[in-house]
Amino acid sequence: MNIYVKIAFVACTAIVGSFIGWQKSNIEILTIQYETVIFATVLSSDIDSSVEEKETSSHFFSEAILGWTLAPSFKNNLGFSISSRKQERGNIIFEFTSDSENIAKNNAKKFIKNLEYKLQKYNNLANTKFNILLDKPVITEKSPHKSFWTMGGGIAGFFFGLFAVELYIFLRRKK
C-alpha cells in the first residue's frame, strides 16, 4: 500500500469522525440542561474553642458533609444525583443538573432543606454547634460545545484510520 493512500485513508476517517461528532453535537444541543452550583462554608460556632480549633473542626466537618452527599439514603431522599467537592478547608461546592430552570430551583430548595435537616440532626445528636453558610444557588444554562464533539470525533476517526491501516498491513503480511 502506497504511503499517500495510507495518509489519505487516515485523513478521510478523521474527516468522517469529525462529521459524526458534529452531528452528535447537533443532537445534544437540542437537550439543554441547567446546571446549579451552590457554594457552602462550614462554620463551627462553639464558644469555648479557639479560632484555630474552630478552623480545624470546620475543615474536618466539611469532609463529613461530603460523605453525607455520597450516602445512598441522602441521594434517595433528594431524588436526583449531586456531585460535591471540597474547594479548600471548610468550603464545599455542590453541583447538579436539571432539565428545566424550575426543576433546578425546586431541586436546590430540596437539597438545602435536606442538608439543613441533616445538620440539625447531627448537631442535636453529637451536641455540637456547626453551621453551614450557603450562598444563593447559581443556575446557568448548559449546552454542549460543538467544538468538543467535532474534535473528539476527528481524533477518534484518526485513530480508527490508523488502526485500520495497520490491521490491513498486518493481514497482508500474514498471507
Write down the pLDDT at residue 29. Answer: 63
Question: Where are the domains positioned within the chain?
Answer: 1-30, 33-142
- Closest of 66, 68, 69 to residue 87, by C-alpha: 66
- Closest of 111, 104, 103, 97 to residue 40, by C-alpha: 111
Q: Which residue has the higher pLDDT, 51 or 20?
A: 20
What mean pLDDT is predicted for residues 92-112?
90
Write down the pLDDT at residue 128. Answer: 83
Q: Quick check: 25 pLDDT over 80?
A: no
Count of all residues that appear for the chain in the document: 175
CATH of 33-142 among 3.40.50.1820, 1.20.1530.20, 3.30.1600.10, 3.30.70.1130: 3.30.70.1130
Cα separation, 154 vs 124, in Å, equals: 56
What mean pLDDT is predicted for residues 44-63?
77
Task: Give the model's confidence band at 127: pLDDT under 50 very low, under 70 low, under 90 confident, else very high.
Answer: confident
CB-count exposure of residue 158 (10 Å: 0-12, 13-18, 19+): middle
Q: What is the mean pLDDT of the chain?
A: 84
Reported as half-sphere exposure (CB side, CA atoms, 13 A), residue 67 has a value of 6
Write down the pLDDT at residue 147. Answer: 75
Torsion of the alpha carbons at 65, 67, 70 and 73, rounded to the nearest 10: -80
Q: Which residues pair with 93 in a beta bridge?
A: 39, 85
End-to-end CA distance of the chain: 15
Query: Which pTM was predicted?
Result: 0.66
